[in-house]
Amino acid sequence: MRVATKFLLHLTPVLFGLLLVPRAALAGTADCPIEPASNVPLADGEVRIGANCTLHTAGDVDSFAFAGTKGDTYQLAVAITSGSTNLCMTLRSPSSVVYSSCSNIDAGQDSVVTSQTLAATGTYTIDLSETSTDTLDYAVSLERLYPFPPNELEIGIDKAVTGDITEPTDSNAFTFKAVTTGEYEVSATLTGGSQDLCMTVYEPGGASAYSGCTNRNAGQDTVQLSNFTPPQTGTYMAFLFVAGNDGTAPYSLEVACISGKCNPYPYCALTDSLSYSSGTLTMNFTVDNSYATTWNAWLTYQNTLVPLFSVAQAITSSPTPITKTATLSAEGSVGVLSTLTTPTAGITCSSWVQIQTGAP
């Protein structure tokens, strides 16, 4: 998994350099060990491909092992990189065969891909074999889909990201935070290559919200989830792979805010507008906060500072208008300061407005 991020705002060279350094959890690529070897460890997010990833006879079996947890969902993919016979994959749980299937090269299917939710905790094995004797080179990969994989890369809203599916069976996982008050567009566009790109967007609980692919033959280089209103606030994942899992593709990805309030939690906003008439100061507040706060306000005029109120402010689901009044004689230009605070963060939002009340 190779990724680089292009931010819309300027970053210092040091920070930008850190962002380009591959994190330890990013997907890795490794050759298979020299035979004979069995139950070769296959890490989450790893692609095994190279000169030693080869089957030689119909009786030859290469096996890979990983530790699975009950309830976790994994994508397993194998693809032929060279050869003229079919490749078969069998997944075994600690007690039984879970899945078995073969490619169909006559139908143009050079790979076998499956998503499996594990029914038990323990060691799982992936057995690879061929249907007839031939020198068959392959690639094999494992990626956890839920809980979201440790090699994911979190991206922000309205920031462009470039990526590259660099090996057959490789995949890229990106997560982003979304809230129910926003409408989003998630799009991936091919920037080269000759194969189609596919994208699946997963909800926080692991359900699929969207799945689709580009269609280069029809001139469609972008796969897109449009006008998406999240059913729940949380972390979502965009999972990218080549159609058929048997090739490579460079692309760009963006999660854009289309409308509404798209900033992830936590957030707050506090505004105020003033009016004055016949000894009454009216304060028209709008409060919007995703966490509980204490709301404070002070009135200042001449050389005097008067506390107006200090009250608990509950969570609001949308911008909420709240009107308050205070009795005040004409004192020239006066001002109202208001804040939202929490015990751990202090002042999280504030407002300062002034109004002319007339000569004292």
pLDDT digits over 36-69, tens only?
A: 789 999 999 999 999 999 999 999 999 999 999 9
**CA atoms 184, 145, 45, 61: torsion sign:** negative
Per-residue pLDDT for 293 more than 70?
yes
| Location of structure tokens 């209103």 | 229
- In angstroms, rounded to a whole number, what is the distance separating the alpha carbons of residues 213 and 105? 21
Q: To the nearest whole percent, how much of the chain has pLDDT over 90?
A: 81
Peptide bond into 147 cis (omega under 30): yes
1-28+149-261 CATH fold: Jelly Rolls (2.60.120)
60 and 129 Cβ atoms separated by less than 8 Å = yes
Per-residue pLDDT for 141 more than 60?
yes
- Band (pLDDT 50/70/90 cuts) for residue 27 is low
Cβ-proximal residues to 278 (8 Å cutoff; 6+ apart), any chain: none
pLDDT digits over 294-308, tens only?
A: 999 999 999 999 999
CATH class of 31-147: mainly beta
CATH 2.60.40.10 in the chain: give the residue spans: 268-356
Per-residue pLDDT for 292 more than 50?
yes
Report pLDDT for 266: 80
CATH class of 268-356: mainly beta
Report pLDDT for 318: 75
- Band (pLDDT 50/70/90 cuts) for residue 160 is confident
Q: What is the C-alpha radius of gyration for the chain, rounded to an integer number of angstroms?
A: 29
Report pLDDT for 199: 98
Cβ-proximal residues to 247 (8 Å cutoff; 6+ apart), any chain: 165, 168, 193, 194, 195
pLDDT digits over 170-222, tens only?
A: 999 999 999 998 999 999 999 999 999 999 999 999 999 999 999 999 999 99
CATH 2.60.120.380 in the chain: give the residue spans: 1-28+149-261, 31-147
- In angstroms, rounded to a whole number, what is the distance separating the alpha carbons of residues 177 and 267? 13
Per-residue pLDDT for 20 more than 90?
no
pTM for the whole thing?
0.73
